[in-house]
Chain A
Amino acid sequence: MTGIDQIRRDAARRFAELGYLTTRDEEWRFTNVSPIAKTHFSEAFSDLSAPERAQLDGRLSPSKGGLRLVFINGRYAPELSARKLSRGIRATPLQEANGAVEAHLARYASYQDRAFVALNTANFGDGACIEIPKGTVVEEPIHLVFLATGGEAPVISHPRSLIVLGPASQATVVESYLGHGARYFTNAVTEIVAGGHSVLDHYKLQEEDERSFHVATLQVQIGRDASFSTHSISLGGGLVRNDINAVLAEGTEATVNGLYLVSGSQHVDNHTAIDHAMPHGTSHELYKGILGGTSAAVFSGKIIVRPGAQKTDARQTNKNLVLSEDATINTKPELQIHADDVRCTHGATIGQLDQDAIFYLRSRGIAREQARELLTYAFARDIIDRVKVEPLRARLERILVERLHAGRN
């Protein structure tokens, strides 16, 4: 692990240089992280009380039966994990992995210019490593669960995941972030390396405590003719920032979808960057947001088409449903196109519930509040419907219905 130790030291030095970014930085213009910078965090204990364990068991239930790695405050919790290994699949804490770690860890998520990645790289704990051998199809979803337990004093954890798919392999990975307790900070980094002709369906479900901070970077390197999809669902967290950076090879197909449901004083920022480095790549991106209360959301979608990346087909859509007069949305597409035979489209909408549709439903006997819930659910539905992991989809449907019914959005 000497290589890793060196990287950690470099990352720590780099973070000391970069520090927490301010809103003067274009990438952080609409998200002020000074509440994070001002808080003194300490390392958290990884013990769970009996009620905490019971609550966790309840929330983990949809993933029973599959492969599951659970981390509490960044520390691997073997007693809550299920490692049913077969056909050479490796799902291990990072310490136990070696080959993949040496070859890939911290090679893609740049700690040179990204402060939170540097902070994570310098400090991550056990972390998860998933390796799918060449030609292997893993039917059951692989679950990575990161639980944060804040205490009296603010605590910090740095979940770290490395997912390596061999050529022509196939897998589904679900990352879940949950937590409770007053103030804590989850600073996660996931690196994915998908080999040529591989198929990976990735999901991230963020259900952090609403007083917490959550910053996460997903860095994806997708191989030639591979197919990658990710769905990022943000439900919790007080101050949330998700970065997704995907680099596509020739003939790669990437789907990057997201849903954010924010209310109260939540702030959720989604930054995506899709890098068409080679020709014949396709990317489809659809982010939808529902905003209530005094919440704020940010969407920034960067699409880069490198010189020579001809026949690129990139589509980006961001749709927002604003349910309150006091909510704020900032949405920004950014297209950098350096090739001439490409198709790139983008669109953003910000709207309210359709009053004609509300009246239509009411005229059929459906009460106003129920009509609003129904229409709000309908807005989110096309993202939920794309979730292929059935228990996860069912869970999302239930959460959404409950939240809308509680009138929080």
Chain B
Amino acid sequence: MALLEIRNLHASVSGKEILRGIDLTVGAGELHAIMGPNGSGKSTLAQVLAGRDLYEVTEGQVWYDGKDLLSMPPEQRAQEGIFMAFQYPVEIPGVSNMYFLKTALNTVRKSRGLEELDAMDFLTLAREKLALVEMDPAFLNRPVNAGFSGGEKKRNEILQMAVLEPRLAILDETDSGLDIDALKIVASGVNALRNPERAMIVVTHYQRLLNYIVPDRVHVLADGRIVKSGDKNLALEVEESGYAGVGEAVAA
């Protein structure tokens, strides 16, 4: 059984249909890239999977580990092992990264019947994960994302993913706004977290990220539908001929 199965998914925002029938199956251990031009619906898909209520699902189903994902509130999805790295991570002044991460981890652990970590154990774990994204432990004492640079925010997302150890990670344009050094750090963090039990969906506009995070499958999204799927070479094709070129190939 696939870990994630999306069937004929339609979703709208303020009455405007953005997703117009998505079908996608992702198995454990697989990494799928979803590419598409601006407005194609790729971020909407990520947000719908994470449970953002701005979007209304009008048709279709999403099965996650055999469960009806769309009936779950966002926190339950996270507890069940879904993680979305935000395209625009939210700044939360007044809440320290440490408190946020520890609260999130312990909530998730509790829901899985695991013991909560105390401050010492959490710190040990956090330090190990920080190294993965080359972040200074001082980050833990700063308010969540407040005053962070774009690169720091994206690394903080990967740090959260590393701490929460999801079964399905969705990275929403994690490469946007990153210089090449930051991109490499983020990519190596992501690669270190790949394993046979964990699935990942990487949403990106550009092929560049996929030089560092090599996908098993690539899907091109246009106008709310997947118009073409293939292996990693499809990303290179998109890079060469552009989205219009790929779209024409489909139409032809």
Say whether A associates with B. Answer: yes
Known: A359-B52, A360-B89, A374-B103. A366 touches B75 (CB 8 A): yes
Q: Take A359-B52, A359-B74, A374-B103 as given contacts and tell me if A364 and B94 are in contact as well, using a CB distance cutoff of 8 Å.
A: no
A360 contacts B108, CB within 8 Å? no
Residue of B nearest to A379 (CB): B94
Chain A residues positioned under 8 Å from B53 (CB to CB): 359
The answer to whether residues A378 and B95 also contact, given A359-B74, A362-B75, A365-B104 and a CB cut-off of 8 A, is yes
B75→A382 contact, CB < 8 A: no
A382–B143 alpha-carbon span in the complex (Å) = 12
B73: Cβ under 8 A from any A Cβ = yes
Q: Which residue of A lies closest to B93 (CB)?
A: A378
Given contacts A356-B90, A360-B89, A374-B103, contact A365 B79 (CB under 8 A): yes
- The answer to whether B95 and A374 touch across the interface, beta carbons within 8 angstroms, is yes
B161 to chain A, nearest CB (A): 10
The answer to whether A108 has its CB under 8 Å from any CB of chain B is: no
The number of A-B residue pairs with CB atoms under 8 Å apart is 71
Does A354 interact with chain B (Cβ within 8 Å)? yes
Selected from A354, A367, A381, the residue in CB contact (under 8 A) with B107 is A367
Residues on B with beta carbons closer than 8 Å to the beta carbon of A374: 95, 103
List which A356-409 residues lie within 8 A (CB) of chain B.
Answer: 356-357, 359-368, 370, 374-375, 377-379, 381-382
Q: Which single residue of chain A is at the shortest CB-CB distance from B88?
A: A356
A360 touches B92 (CB 8 A): yes
The answer to whether B148 has its CB under 8 Å from any CB of chain A is no
Smallest CB-CB separation from A365: which chain B residue?
A: B78
Docked pose: A370 CA to B106 CA in angstroms: 13
Name B106's closest neighbour in chain A (CB-CB). A365
Encoded as 1 (CB less than 8 Å from any A CB) or 0, chain B from 34 to 52 comes to 0000000000000000111
Q: Which residue of A lies closest to B50 (CB)?
A: A363
Contact B75 A381 (CB under 8 A): no
Interface of A is mostly: helix
- Interface contact A364-B164, CB-CB below 8 Å: yes
Residue of A nearest to B52 (CB): A359
The answer to whether the Cβ of B203 comes within 8 Å of any Cβ in the partner chain is no
A359-B52, A374-B103, A378-B95 known; A367+B75 contact, CB < 8 A: yes
Contact bitstring B72-97, A, C-beta under 8 A = 1, else 0: 01110111000110100111111100
A381 touches B92 (CB 8 A): no
Q: A364-B104, A374-B103 are in contact. Are A354 and B79 (CB under 8 A)?
A: no
Task: Give bound CA distance, A354 to B51, whole Å.
Answer: 17
> Do the beta carbons of A366 and B94 come within 8 Å of each other?
no
Q: Do A378 and B94 have beta carbons less than 8 Å apart?
A: yes
Instruction: Tell whether B111 is near chain A: CB-to-CB under 8 Å.
Output: yes
- Give CA–CA (A356, B79) in the complex, Å: 19
Complex Cα distance, B83 from A374, in Å, reads 20
A360 near B86 with CB under 8 A, answer yes
Our pick among A362, A375, A377 for the contact of B74 (Cβ within 8 Å) is: A362
Q: Say whether, besides A365-B78, A368-B73, A375 and B164 are in contact (CB < 8 Å).
A: no
- A347 CB, nearest partner CB in chain B, Å: 16
Bound form: Cα–Cα A127–B107 in Å? 50
A377 to B96: give the CA distance in the assembly, Å: 12
Residues of chain A within 8 A (CB-CB) of B52 are 359
- Chain A nearest CB: distance from B96 CB in Å? 9
Q: Closest CB-CB distance, B215 to chain A, in whole Å?
A: 23
Q: Give the shortest distance, in Å, between A368 (CB) and chain B (any CB).
A: 7
Instruction: Mark contacts of A31-67 with chain B using CB atoms, 8 A cut-off: 1 yes-contact digit, 0 otherwise.
Output: 0000000000000000000000000000000000000
With a CB–CB cut-off of 8 A, which chain A residues contact B84? 363
Nearest CB in chain B to that of A385: its residue: B94
Is residue B160 within 8 Å, beta carbon to beta carbon, of the partner chain? yes
Residue pair B90, A364 in contact (C-beta under 8 Å)? no
Interface residues of B in 185-229 (CB under 8 A from A): none
Residues of A within 8 A of B79 (CB): 365
Name which residue of chain A comes closest to B109, CB basis.
A365
A384: nearest chain-B partner, CB-CB: B94
CB pairs A–B below 8 angstroms (26 shown): A356-B90, A357-B90, A357-B92, A359-B90, A360-B92, A361-B92, A361-B104, A363-B74, A363-B84, A364-B78, A364-B100, A364-B104, A365-B78, A365-B79, A366-B75, A366-B103, A367-B75, A367-B107, A368-B75, A374-B103, A375-B92, A375-B95, A377-B94, A378-B92, A378-B94, A382-B94
Q: A364-B107, A367-B107 are in contact. List 10 more A-B contacts (CB 8 A).
A: A357-B90, A360-B92, A363-B50, A363-B75, A363-B84, A374-B95, A377-B94, A378-B92, A378-B94, A379-B94
* Among all A-B residue pairs, the 4 with the closest Cβ atoms: A378-B94, A365-B78, A364-B104, A362-B74
